[in-house]
Amino acid sequence: MKGSLLLVKVSWRNLWRNPRGTSLTALALGLGLALLLISLGLLDGGHEQTIADGVRLGPGHVVIQAKGYQDSSSDELLLPSRVVFRIEGFLQSGDMKHVVRGISPRLLANGLLSSSANAAGVRIMGVIPHDEQAVSLIPLRIVAGTYLSNDSLSAVVIGAGLARKLEVKIGSKVVLMTQALRQPSTDTKNGAGEEMQSTLLRVSGIFRTGLQAVDATIIHLPSAAARTLLGVADGHVTQVALLLEREGDAPLVAGALRQQLTEAPIEVLTWRESIPMLAQILGLDHAFNYIMNGVILVTVGLGILNTILMRVLERRYEFGVCKALGLRPLQLAVMVIGESLALTVISLALGLALGLSVNHHFATSGLDLRWVFTTGLPPALVFDPILYSRLTSERIVWSVGIVFAMATIISLYPALKAARTELPDALKVL
């Protein structure tokens, strides 16, 4: 287009006719982008932490269980030892060993834990201590005593909430009572099935996750002790929990396992399938955040529309003169869009500088939200109260693209308005 350079020059200089207005508008749009980047960084970082913590307090990134366990939660559905061996063998071979960080076979059941002071219903997790430490968050959240070791057969690790209820401390004796599991392959007449069993255990460690449901109900004891108590054959487990190096590999690993164990009566679930509530909460959080970001962008966008429109309306006479001199409507529109784009570029630079700086701070030092949850985390949430931002380059490009597109679209109406400057009416203003 002839004279494009001049139009760009005019656009740029027009921006600085009102430096305060331009600076404020650029700041508003820049703040919009910065807020978008900060909120996306914290959202993604928070979600990543929530998923990491959630899966480590639950069944891992991928869980393998007997078919039907997810729906029925029947502890009598067990994985036979030969299937567990096959799973472990497959996961420790080839490429899988680089993808999988930890494998923990678990035996699960419900029970009643009693102390001399009180009793409480508990969820028993019989674990191999070394394996569980590679998968679970609980061994990392011990606040008193120590976690289980492979040779501590009568030890139990309980949550702080449960310890408070039972009024026990490290070294206290507790009695765990449960019903022996009835297994389809086991002869119930041998005396093990459906009978109440109990064992004396000693509290070796107390953990605190901050999640009331976990701290008040989960207990860990060595799998050998759990097997004996529940009357389960050696090597049989309720589930095999896997912790992966990358959360994104969960569908891949689950798919490979399903393919490998087609004939076995098992179900392989990713965390999204095994903890659907967590996936739903995160999905809702995402949706809410997108709506909030949309509101921020629309608000900022309306501010910019107002500014640019005002500039155009104020210069109606000037546009009339340009048109009288031979400037075509398209050139007038280009001039206004050029002005808006120049403003956008300045704003994006401001927004990026601010947004990335704040994100860097939150990525390294974190955003401490402990003051919000002084009495523990809400039962439906699983996350570390210190949020660490995580902003990917895709998110940055996406955010900049959205703001740029928004500013461009917003400038179309004022540009159209300028292009439609009517002669000779526009020249009659003064």
Partner 1 sequence: MTEWAVELKGVRKTYRTGPIEVPALRGLSLRVAPGEFVATAGPSGSGKTTLLNIIGGLDGADAGEVLVAGQSLHLLSSGELAQLRLERIGFVFQTYNLLPVLTALENAEFTLLLQGVPTHERREKVKKLFSEIGLAGLEDRRPAELSGGQQQRVAVARAMVTEPALILADEPTANLDSATAISLLDVMEHLNRATGTTFIFSTHDPQVMERAHRLIRLRDGQIASDETREQGAAVG
Distance in Å, CB of 329 to partner 1, minimum: 7
Minimum Å distance from CB 356 to partner 1?
A: 33
Tokens coding 226: 């759990």
Cβ proximity to partner 1, 305 vs 332, nearer residue: 332
Listing DSSP states for 257-277 in one string gives HHHHTTTSSEEEEEHHHHSHH
Q: In the complex with partner 1, which residue's Cβ is closer, 97 or 428?
A: 428
Residues 6+ apart with CB under 8 A from 384: 49, 53
Listed in order, strand segments (DSSP E) in 323-403 are 367-368, 386-387
Q: Are 206 and 143 contacting, i.e. CB atoms less than 8 angstroms apart?
A: yes
> Nearer to partner 1 by C-beta: 13 or 130?
13
CA dihedral 247, 253, 258, 264 (to 10 degrees): -100
Q: Which two tokens stand for residue 181?
A: 């599991």
For residue 380, the 8-state DSSP code is T
Q: Is 319 exposed, middle or buried (0-12, 13-18, 19+ CB in 10 A)?
A: buried
Sequential DSSP letters for 130-169: HHHHHH-SGGGGEEEE----TT-TTEEEEEHHHHHHHT--
273 burial (CB, 10 Å; 0-12 / 13-18 / 19+) is middle
Contact 373, 211 (CB under 8 A): no
Helices (H), 247-326: 250-260, 271-274, 276-314, 316-324
- In terms of CB distance, is 7 or 240 closer to partner 1? 7
- What secondary structure does DSSP assign to 27-62, as a single string? HHHHHHHHHHHHHHHHHHHHHHHHHHHHHHHTTBSE
Minimum distance, C-beta of residue 404 to partner 1, in the bound complex (Å): 24
Q: What type of residue is 268?
A: V
From the CB of 330, what's the least distance to partner 1, in Å?
Answer: 9
Question: Cβ 14 to partner 1, closest distance in Å?
Answer: 5
Q: Which is nearer to partner 1, 2 or 98 (CB)?
A: 2
**Residue 6 or 345 with smaller CB distance to partner 1:** 6
Two tokens at 327? 């400037």
In the bound state with partner 1, the residue whose beta carbon lies nearer, of 14 and 179, is: 14
| 3 state DSSP class of 104 | strand
Q: Which is nearer to partner 1, 61 or 417 (CB)?
A: 417
| Chain residues that interact with partner 1, rule: CB under 8 A | 2-3, 5-6, 9-10, 13-14, 16-17, 317-318, 321-329, 331, 423-424, 427, 430
Cβ distance to partner 1 smaller for residue 184 or 326: 326
Task: Provide the minimum distance between the beta carbon of 25 and partner 1 in the complex, in angstroms, as a whole number.
Answer: 17
* In the complex, least distance from residue 390 CB atom to partner 1, rounded to whole angstroms: 44
Between CA 136 and CA 357 the distance in angstroms is: 34
Q: How far is the CB of 61 from partner 1 (least distance, A)?
A: 60
Q: How far is the CB of 403 from partner 1 (least distance, A)?
A: 26
Return the number of the residue (316 or 390) whose C-beta is nearest partner 1: 316
Give me 294's structure tokens. 């949309």
Which two structure tokens, joined as six digits, stand for 339?
């002005």
Nearer to partner 1, 317 or 404 (CB): 317
DSSP code string of 169-193: -TT-EEEEEEEPPP-TTS-GGGS-T
